């Protein structure tokens, strides 16, 4: 079984050296061979995927060309793909099947991509580790005893393990970027609105964004150009400037690029190994003539509190629809009130319940002003910090996480410690600006990511910058231990 990049497979398909059907069959072979250990996949429909692959091959033979035509894609299981389950990693969604395609899924299908699987996730996308799936949690391909990161755990693991060259996740406060850092892949959280949220199960509507995942920025660009743009089904959606620069993605000249290093992101909480990797990564930019500057984002210290107050408030509202009345699991109780209470008690996991309760408290009478409205004001201050920073720099470079992937169970009993893993990923979503995680190196054999953050609608520039870095470094080409003959990492 060979692992290919989207770019390499694109070239093979266009030249007639590869077929979509062969690639899709290879995806299913890898899933059958590896997923009993990685647990990245929740559902497949092999017959349907193979039919789509044959149609893609027919389009290729007819001379049609598209960046994603014939390529296998994995979808996070909170995205709707008509006819397949949408579990959201939760027991309460038992039996629910999507009645329509999410806009991003529809755009992939129209362009000829072939979805091959629905991927595991933290329940309702609530989690930073991947441990909060109601099913067997996904494992990190670099060390099965460690978490892959969350909440888009299965989507990231699927790319890292070579199930498919592309995947879609969702990112509310870091849910594609944190696992990308832990598993040595590249992931983009776009400017809010650039990718439609229609058909993405809502967690926190003012923060949720679909996020593409791949081995490299160049691979992400292939899908991003197909996915981006205004959607009449999502009133918050917007067009993406510079979309014509995505295919093919070109390197960005780094000479004179002003890169800011926020002092608040490089404090005492950063593990020494991570700090060393990031310093080496920043040096790569400096050697190419980039202007490295220190900047300050003074309200960063309020970001975690602000994020979790706003996010949980929206969660408590969005998840009220899952009550057993309309779809999914329904408990067998007498009265309507008892049925709803029992359904939610049995169907929802502890992390989801924790966030619903916290959000309901924040929105309750007597506490709304003290918590929710104050968090909205803090969000404005955090956004202004970014605006001021981008007056003097073009992009920011930061850690993705204070540390590398941690062992299963290390933070499960300490919600605060788990939430602090998001310290570097939640500020940008509060401001609605684009950010990406890409491989920066390794410490003690575990991957470390670097985060690039840009002003609103600088998505293409971020990808170009990442592409330049990846043309100068080999980190994104490294494969997990399970690909290495004789390696013993619990595999």
Q: What is the pLDDT of residues 92-144, one digit of tens each?
A: 999 999 999 999 999 999 999 999 999 999 999 999 999 999 999 999 999 99
Q: Does residue 88 come out as left (phi exceeding 0), alpha (psi in the -120 to 50 range) or beta?
A: left
148-157, 364-373, 389-398, range with the lowest pLDDT:
364-373
Average pLDDT over the chain reads 95
Q: Give the pLDDT band (50/70/90) at residue 2.
A: very low
247 burial class (0-12, 13-18, 19+ CB within 10 angstroms)? middle
Q: Is the pLDDT of residue 350 over 70?
A: yes
Report the distance separating Cα 491 and Cα 486, nearest Å: 10
Please give the DSSP secondary-structure letter assigned to residue 437. E
C-alpha angle 97-102-106 in degrees, rounded to nearest 5:
115
349: its two tokens: 């996991």
Strand partners, 291: 258
Report the distance separating Cα 78 and Cα 352, nearest Å: 15
pLDDT in tens, 232-268: 999 999 999 999 999 999 999 999 999 999 999 999 8
pLDDT of residue 182: 98
pLDDT of residue 4: 72
DSSP element (H, E) containing 351: helix 350-362
Ordered domains of the chain (ranges, CATH): 6-297+384-483 (3.90.1300.10)
50-59, 115-124, 175-184, 407-416, range with the lowest pLDDT:
407-416
Q: Is the pLDDT of residue 488 over 70?
A: no
For tokens 């720099």, the residue is 393
Sequence-ordered alpha helix ranges (H) in 142-193: 153-160, 177-183
Q: What is the mean pLDDT of residues 57-83?
A: 98
Q: 46-61 and 20-38 helices cross at what angle (nearest 10)?
A: 150
* C-alpha R_g of the chain: 21
Q: Give the pLDDT band (50/70/90) at residue 490.
A: very low
Give the active site residues. Answer: 76, 151, 175
Q: Give the pLDDT band (50/70/90) at residue 3.
A: low
pLDDT of residue 355: 96
416 burial class (0-12, 13-18, 19+ CB within 10 angstroms)? exposed
Helix count (H) and strand count (E) of the chain? 15, 11
pLDDT of residue 129: 96
Q: What is the mean pLDDT of residues 61-87?
A: 97
Contacts of 362 (CB under 8 A, 6+ apart): 309, 312, 313, 316, 368, 371, 372, 375
Q: Give the pLDDT band (50/70/90) at residue 332.
A: confident
Cβ neighbours of 202 (radius 10 Å) = 18
Q: Is the pLDDT of residue 485 over 50?
A: no
pLDDT of residue 482: 76
Is residue 241 within 8 Å of 434, Cβ to Cβ?
no
313: its two tokens: 């408030």
pLDDT of residue 489: 37
- By C-alpha distance, which of 44, 57, 45, 50 is closest to 24? 50
| pTM (two decimals) | 0.96
Q: Torsions phi, psi of 143, nearest 5?
A: -170, 110
272: its two tokens: 């020494």
Cβ neighbours of 168 (radius 10 Å) = 27
Q: Give the pLDDT band (50/70/90) at residue 486.
A: very low
Q: What is the mean pLDDT of residues 413-439?
A: 92
483 burial class (0-12, 13-18, 19+ CB within 10 angstroms)? middle
For tokens 């990923």, the residue is 425
pLDDT in tens, 161-174: 999 999 999 999 99
Q: Is the pLDDT of residue 227 over 90?
A: yes
What burial letters (b/e) apply to 134-167, b meaning 16+ CB within 10 Å?
bbebbbbbbbbebbbbbbbbbbbbbbbbbbbbbb
In the chain, % of residues over pLDDT 90: 92
């Amino acid at each position: 079984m060979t692992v290919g990049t989207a770019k390499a497979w694109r070239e093979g398909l266009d030249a007639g050296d590869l077929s979509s059907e062969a690639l899709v069959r290879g995806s299913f072979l890898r899933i059958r061979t590896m997923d009993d250990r990685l647990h990245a996949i929740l559902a497949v429909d092999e017959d349907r995927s193979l039919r789509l692959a044959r149609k893609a091959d027919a389009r290729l033979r007819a001379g049609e060309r598209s960046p994603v035509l014939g390529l296998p894609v994995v979808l996070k299981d909170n995205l709707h793909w008509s006819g397949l389950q949408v579990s959201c990693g939760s027991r309460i969604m038992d039996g629910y099947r999507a009645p329509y395609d999410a806009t991003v899924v529809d755009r992939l299908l129209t362009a000829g991509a072939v979805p091959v699987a629905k991927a595991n996730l933290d329940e309702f996308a609530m989690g930073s580790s991947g441990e909060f799936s109601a099913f067997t949690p996904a494992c990190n391909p670099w060390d099965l005893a460690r978490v892959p990161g969350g909440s888009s755990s299965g989507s990231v693991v699927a790319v890292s393990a070579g199930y498919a060259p592309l995947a879609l996740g969702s990112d509310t406060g870091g849910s594609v970027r944190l696992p990308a850092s832990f598993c040595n892949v590249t992931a983009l959280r776009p400017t809010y609105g650039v990718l439609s949220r229609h058909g993405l199960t809502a967690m926190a509507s003012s923060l949720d964004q679909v996020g593409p995942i791949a081995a490299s920025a160049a691979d992400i660009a292939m899908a991003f150009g197909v996915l981006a743009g205004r959607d009449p089904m999502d009133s918050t959606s917007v067009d993406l400037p510079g979309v014509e620069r995505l295919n093919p993605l070109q390197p960005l000249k780094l000479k004179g690029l002003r890169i800011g290093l926020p002092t608040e992101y490089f404090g005492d909480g950063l593990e020494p190994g991570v700090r060393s990797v990031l310093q080496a990564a920043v040096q790569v930019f400096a050697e190419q003539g980039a202007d490295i500057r220190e900047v300050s984002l003074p309200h960063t210290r309020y970001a975690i509190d602000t994020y979790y107050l706003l996010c949980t408030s929206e969660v408590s509202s969005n998840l009220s629809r899952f009550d057993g009345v309309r779809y999914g699991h329904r408990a067998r109780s007498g009265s309507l009130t008892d049925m709803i209470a029992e359904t939610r008690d049995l169907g929802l996991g502890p992390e989801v319940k924790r966030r619903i309760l916290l959000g309901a408290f924040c929105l309750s009478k007597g506490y709304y002003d003290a918590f929710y409205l104050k968090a909205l004001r803090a969000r404005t201050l955090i956004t202004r910090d970014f605006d001021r920073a981008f007056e003097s720099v073009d992009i920011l470079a930061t850690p993705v996480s204070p540390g590398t992937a941690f062992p299963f169970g290390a933070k499960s009993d300490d919600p605060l410690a788990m939430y602090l893993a998001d310290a570097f990923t939640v500020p940008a979503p509060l401001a609605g600006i684009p950010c990406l995680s890409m491989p920066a190196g390794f410490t003690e054999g575990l991957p470390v990511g670097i985060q690039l953050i840009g002003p609103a609608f600088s998505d293409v520039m971020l990808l170009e910058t990442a592409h330049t870095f990846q043309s100068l470094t080999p980190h994104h080409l490294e494969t997990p231990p399970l690909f290495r003959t004789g390696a013993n990492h619990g595999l």
